[in-house]
Amino acid sequence: MKQIVIFSGTTEGRKLSELLSAQGIRHMVCVATDCGAEVMEENDTADIHVGRMDMGQMTQLIKNMGEPSKSLVIDATHPYAVEATANIKSAAGSLCCRYIRVVRERCKDLTEGAFVYDDISACARHIDGTSGNILLTTGSKELAEYCGSVSDATKKRTYVRVLPTLESIELCRAQGIETDHIIAMQGPFGEGLNEAIIRQCDIKHLITKDSGAAGGMDDKVRAAKSTKAKIHVIARPTDEDGMSVTDVFSLITGKESGGKEICITLAGIGMGSESTMTAAFMEEVRGCDMLFGAGRLIENLSCPRKYALYRPGDIIQVLERESAGHVLIVFSGDSGFYSGAQAVINALKSWRSDVRLKVLPGISSISYLASKLEVSYEDAILYSLHGRNTEKNLSDLTGKVRHNKKVFSLVSDAGDVRKIAKRLIDACIDCRIFAGARLSGADESIRELTPENALSFDEEGCVTILIENRVPSKHLLVPVKKDSDFLRSDVPMTKECVRHESIIRLGLREGDIFYDIGGGTGSVAIEASSLDESLEVYTFEKEAGAADLIRQNIAKLGVYNVTVIEKDALKALTDMPKPDCVFIGGSGGRLHQIIDMIHSKGSGIRFVINAVSLETMEEVRKLSDRYEVSEEEAVMIQVNDIKHIGSHHMMKSQNPVWVFSFVI
């Protein structure tokens, strides 16, 4: 039998030790700190060595274990522990031991909008030019380098999450981090706790290493997404070759899988009453030895171990510390219809490649309500407001009702029904509402309401509604806005014909991120945003009066996928995600600087620029000397309005406008 030493301090090291212990295979685990030792399981087969070691001390430890040539040295240290890995390799090489590196998978859910840096100093220099609170989750080792690269003002808005050790806390204090900005906790953390910390501390920027799913990276990313905090990632220092924990286990034992197989079923429970639970669901309940789900869903289900948890990170933390053969995760309604099942599936696949997954559908409240009303839903629009009743979502639902005969919607409670009714009345939509509360329960309620009646709807519990529009409006095939649609005041506005042509040349696609630089009245941003609700539109306007006018136009025209950035564009662009398309109607004489800043975010961005003056035209012409420009086009538009003057109709010309479009 080989002498096995695992240099650990990570989830992978702990998992490998537990797998070897379960097979009765003796080994030693080396961790640097007491915190690392506390999460390890010391038993008859696993000896724990605590303390930091240099290369010489590592070499001596391996020698003391027995014959070095028969030793297997496993490096399961952190991906960023470059010095430790170099020392372990050198120690193993000097004794002719076999060396194996356990490599952690990278984060699979990192968004394109994330900022990535080579090191903590580069990140700190960028962060210093931003605004808003910062959560630093890279640990205490990099803290001095971070603090040395930022201003005192930035340090004051920085929250630091470190291990709960005196050494870590003293390092924070030595760097001037305020006591109430030190979060001393042992990880990894689930998505829920990450999100709670971000919201509690009003975090706008989250700084992390790419520590992979095992290090909680995926949960950080999901929490940042849900709170709209910007993600700043310190790239891994090297791309390493190595093996997974299960591969190392198989190499040592000759077995295909590391330990007991785990089977996980994700199932829809229906509406909660036993009568709407499928036979397949009940069979899963009887066969499971661990059960997860929201408290209200699982309170009447029997299982030896029940956990009122539904977030992926929280579930995985339990699975990490407790063994289970058959796990059931419960979702309300149907697992495939506006449930959290897909997020959990993705997280479980990232966590373990050998997990066996099964998904069971349930009876959704939509199909149940349709059957009760004796109507079909094959020709209906399905939309959920449950847990996401923002102004934009309410506007989207109203738009769907305006243009469709039947719209089913899941809503959180009676308050949502009242908000929807108010929107329908304001939009003058002739419709009726069928509202089902506590569906399938003994006190089930299904009521037919006019929008006016629905203003006082007060049923308790979750609600599902059907809205029937008696006379749906037809969609405009070319959904353009007229100048008269906008409030204007004395703020400059891109005129109707020029605006339409400019938006056409942007070539917007579903889900695009679009910048409108120099918003004015917001006419370009608002008309573009109304083309599709999936567009993410940002309009930059530094003048307070104009920015307020844009907000008024957004409310007037009911488009809620437009974000007003009331700030100088050059200053605001630093923290913005890479756009797909950019319209520049006004640059304040800084066209090249603005395009330089946007281009620094990446290539393949389509620009459309309106130019009236000869100077702006010349600036645009020079862009081809600075960049590799493609798909370059230009058109000059001259618009003449007909005006009534006495008994005559006279032509009144507007300034000619050049519309330039290109990709760089």
pLDDT in tens, 306-358: 999 999 989 998 888 787 778 999 999 999 888 889 999 988 988 877 788 99
Provide the 10 A C-beta neighbour count for residue 83.
Answer: 11
> What's the token pair of residue 655?
């300034």
Q: Please tell me the predicted confidence (pLDDT) of residue 614.
A: 84
Identify the burial level of 453 via C-beta atoms within 10 angstroms of its C-beta, where 0-12 means exposed, 13-18 middle and 19 or more buried: middle
Residue 110, C-beta contacts closer than 8 angstroms, at least 6 positions apart: 210, 221, 231, 233
Q: Which helix (H) or strand (E) holds 308?
A: none
> What's the token pair of residue 202?
């009003």
Record: fold of 3-101: Rossmann fold (3.40.50)
Tell me the HSE value of 526 on the side-chain side, using a 13 A CA sphere.
Answer: 26
Residue 254, C-beta contacts closer than 8 angstroms, at least 6 positions apart: none
Euclidean distance between CA atoms 607 and 627, whole angstroms: 13
Q: Please tell me the predicted confidence (pLDDT) of residue 617.
A: 84
Query: Would you say 167 and 34 are in contact if contact means Cβ atoms under 8 Å apart?
Result: no
Query: Would you say 652 and 660 are in contact if contact means Cβ atoms under 8 Å apart?
Result: no
Q: Please tell me the predicted confidence (pLDDT) of residue 258.
A: 46
Q: What does DSSP assign to residue 467?
A: E
Euclidean distance between CA atoms 571 and 576, whole angstroms: 10
Q: Please tell me the predicted confidence (pLDDT) of residue 108.
A: 59
3-state secondary structure of 205: strand
Q: What is the mean pLDDT of residues 295-308?
A: 88
Euclidean distance between CA atoms 292 and 96, whole angstroms: 48
Higher pLDDT, 560 or 518: 518
Lowest-pLDDT range of 104-108, 125-129, 139-143: 104-108
Query: Would you say 143 and 172 are in contact if contact means Cβ atoms under 8 Å apart?
Result: yes
pLDDT at 422 > cutoff 70? yes
Q: Please tell me the predicted confidence (pLDDT) of residue 255.
A: 66
86-114, pLDDT tens digit by residue?
999 999 999 988 999 998 777 655 656 78
Query: Would you say 539 and 550 are in contact if contact means Cβ atoms under 8 Å apart?
Result: yes
> Could you tell me which CATH number the domain at 115-234 has?
3.40.50.620
Q: Is 646 left (phi over 0), alpha (psi -120 to 50) or beta?
A: left
- pLDDT bracket for residue 497 (50, 70, 90): confident
Task: Label the pairing between strands 581-584 and 648-653.
Answer: unpaired
Euclidean distance between CA atoms 595 and 605, whole angstroms: 10
39-96, pLDDT tens digit by residue?
676 678 888 898 899 999 999 998 888 777 788 999 999 888 889 999 999 999 999 8
Q: How much of the chain exceeds pLDDT 70, in percent?
A: 96
Euclidean distance between CA atoms 179 and 366, whole angstroms: 51
Euclidean distance between CA atoms 12 and 212, whole angstroms: 11
Q: Give me the architecture of the 483-663 domain, per CATH.
A: 3-Layer(aba) Sandwich (3.40)
Euclidean distance between CA atoms 231 and 225, whole angstroms: 8
Query: Would you say 267 and 283 are in contact if contact means Cβ atoms under 8 Å apart?
Result: no
Euclidean distance between CA atoms 347 and 539, whole angstroms: 35
Beta strand extents in 254-405 (DSSP E only): 263-268, 290-292, 306-307, 326-331, 356-360, 381-384
- Give whole-number Cα distances, 282 to 330, 360, 479, in Å: 11, 11, 50
Query: Would you say 234 and 30 are in contact if contact means Cβ atoms under 8 Å apart?
Result: no
Peptide bond into 361 cis (omega under 30): no
Euclidean distance between CA atoms 132 and 567, whole angstroms: 14
Query: Starting at the edge strand that comes first in sequence, how are the strands of the sheet with 290-292 ordered?
Result: 306-307, 290-292, 326-331, 263-268, 356-360
Q: What is the mean pLDDT of residues 482-491?
A: 82
Query: Would you say 272 and 330 are in contact if contact means Cβ atoms under 8 Å apart?
Result: no
Give the position of tokens 């738009």: 399
Euclidean distance between CA atoms 524 and 40, whole angstroms: 59
Give the position of tokens 């506390």: 38
Q: What is the mean pLDDT of residues 139-146?
A: 89
Q: CATH classification of 366-469, choosing from 3.40.50.850, 3.30.460.10, 1.10.10.10, 3.30.950.10? A: 3.30.950.10
Query: Would you say 103 and 241 are in contact if contact means Cβ atoms under 8 Å apart?
Result: yes
Q: What is the mean pLDDT of residues 254-263?
A: 63
Task: Label the pairing between strands 513-517 and 463-469.
Answer: unpaired
pTM, entire model: 0.55
Q: Is 461 left (phi over 0), alpha (psi -120 to 50) or beta?
A: left
Domain positions in the chain: 3-101, 115-234, 254-363, 366-469, 483-663
185-201, pLDDT tens digit by residue?
876 677 778 998 999 99
Residue 201, C-beta contacts closer than 8 angstroms, at least 6 positions apart: 133, 135, 159
Identify the burial level of 263 via C-beta atoms within 10 angstroms of its C-beta, where 0-12 means exposed, 13-18 middle and 19 or more buried: middle
pLDDT at 259 > cutoff 60? no
211-252, pLDDT tens digit by residue?
776 667 878 888 888 898 999 999 888 777 788 888 888 888
Query: Would you say 73 and 7 are in contact if contact means Cβ atoms under 8 Å apart?
Result: yes
Query: Would you say 79 and 236 are in contact if contact means Cβ atoms under 8 Å apart?
Result: yes
Q: What does DSSP assign to residue 385?
A: -
Provide the 10 A C-beta neighbour count for residue 396.
Answer: 18
pLDDT at 506 > cutoff 90? yes
> Could you tell me which CATH number the domain at 254-363 has?
3.40.1010.10
Query: Would you say 500 and 529 are in contact if contact means Cβ atoms under 8 Å apart?
Result: no
Strand partners, 411: 463
Examine domains 115-234 and 483-663 and report if their fold is the same.
yes
Strand partners, 637: 657
- Which residue, among 571, 109, 133, has the nearest Cα to 350 in the 3D structure? 109
Q: What is the mean pLDDT of residues 472-480?
A: 78
